[in-house]
Amino acid sequence: MVRSGEFELRLVRSDGLPCPEVEHNGRAYAVASPGTLFVIQIIKHPNPFVVPTPGIIHNACVYVDGQSVGYCKNMRQPGVAKFDGFLAEGDTQGCSFQSFVFSAPRESEEKQATGLNFVEGSIRAAVWLAVQTATPAGQQRFHGPASTNESVAKMPEGKKFFLAPSLTTGKGALRTGPGFSPYGTQRLGGPVAMLELRYETATTLLLRGVLKDSDPAHRAILQQFPETAQAEESEADDDESAACSSHAAGRKRSRQAAIGRRHEQQGQGRPQRQRQAELIDLTKAPCWAGRPRAEEQVREPEEGDEVLAARRENKTLECDLTAEEEPQWRAVKQEAIDV
């Protein structure tokens, strides 16, 4: 918002909405795009600390790109003074205006850039205290500016192109309005309020760092313009894709963790099963089956002593580990070997 005391300056588009504004380094910017029609409003807010002086009014003038629009407005009470466009011609009977329209500037070799404080791309307003004279102004007919300031100086070599104004104001459709006051206006002293509002495209302000997509308020402004809303939408798509990828990666990691846990559990269970598989029931073979034969000869076979009985019959006990239910023992006669 550009405000000085009780006065405010703003640009209102043809759709009735004010141009979005942003402040940076003590300067206010209206964000706009070429081809958009607009009007300029100077708003006089109520001031409870000032007692109005009878007969004193405020006289406001506007300069677009450093050029007067061709007329001024008087303000007696709090309210809005609206400037519809550049004056084409007018008198006390009626006026015609050419609408303000944002336009893309053209470079001019005739202009020299002496600095970065361009008058192009700016709206300036001045407000004076004034009195209205009793002398009629007569039937004089007034004419507005013959041309607009829609060209900018070419940037010097090495200067960034986006530091130059990205917008100027041209003349749009012709429109009519009421005539001028039949009485003259006399200003009192110097201006009591000076207001300036620069205007640029969203792309230029983004390149300058005035608008930052990391700021939610700035992102809302960028979304209003096709050239930056598309980029924002692409970034949103990228963010969504990244989120989906992250979610998928998270699911993959979860699956991998679950598989790892299963493998670990299986790994922990496998030795137990292996140990269980290695436990072969050999209870039918007595624990002293491997003692010397001398001891066997002096000991009588006990009930169930199959190993000793087999040896005395010159047989060998063999265990069949391929049996389905449990190992099967059998006595096999030893074959005689000729020497």
Cβ atoms of 289 and 299 closer than 8 Å: no
**Does residue 258 belong to any structural domain of this protein?**
no
- Give the span between the Cα atoms of 131 and 189, in whole angstroms: 11
Kindly report the number of other CB atoms within 10 A of residue 26's CB atom.
5
The length of the chain is 339
Among residues 172, 202, 235, the one where a domain terminates is 235
pLDDT in tens, 214-244: 999 999 999 999 989 864 444 545 555 555 5
Reported as a pLDDT band with limits 50, 70 and 90, residue 253 is: low
Q: With 0.75 as the threshold, say if the pTM is over it.
A: no
Phi, psi of 278 (to 5 degrees): -80, -10
Query: How far is 11 from 83, CA to CA, in rounded Å?
Result: 10
Residues 231, 286 within the same domain: no
Report how many domains make up the chain: 2
Domain that holds residue 161: 2-235
pLDDT at 270 over 70: no
pLDDT at 339: 47
Cβ atoms within 10 A of the Cβ of 137, count? 15
Domain match, 136 and 204 both:
yes
Same domain, 292 and 224: no
User: In terms of domains, do 77 and 151 share one?
Assistant: yes
In a domain, 61, yes or no: yes
Of 122 and 312, the structure prediction assigns the larger pLDDT to: 122
Lowest mean pLDDT among 128-137, 185-194, 225-234, 255-264: 255-264
- Mean of pLDDT values over 187-211: 95
Examine residue 246 and state whether it is found in any structural domain, yes or no: no
Q: What is the pLDDT of residue 1?
A: 80
Angle at 287 between CA 284 and CA 291, to 5 degrees: 125
Which of 111-115, 204-208, 284-288 is predicted least confidently? Answer: 284-288
Give domain status of residue 244, yes or no. no
Q: Are residues 78 and 220 in the same domain?
A: yes
Question: Which pLDDT belongs to residue 182?
Answer: 86
* Residues paired with 285 in a beta bridge: none
Please give the backbone phi and psi of residue 8, each rounded to the nearest 5 degrees, phi first: -130, 140
Is it the case that residue 118 has pLDDT exceeding 90?
Answer: no
pLDDT at 206: 94
CA angle 95, 11, 229 (to 5 degrees): 135
Question: Could you tell me if residue 319 is inside a domain?
Answer: yes
Kindly state whether residue 122 falls inside one of the protein's structural domains: yes
Q: With bands split at pLDDT 50, 70 and 90, how would you rate the model's confidence at 53?
A: confident
Domain boundary among 201, 235, 269: 235
- According to DSSP, the β-strands at 95-103 and 37-44 are antiparallel
Burial (0-12, 13-18, 19+ Cβ within 10 Å), 284: middle
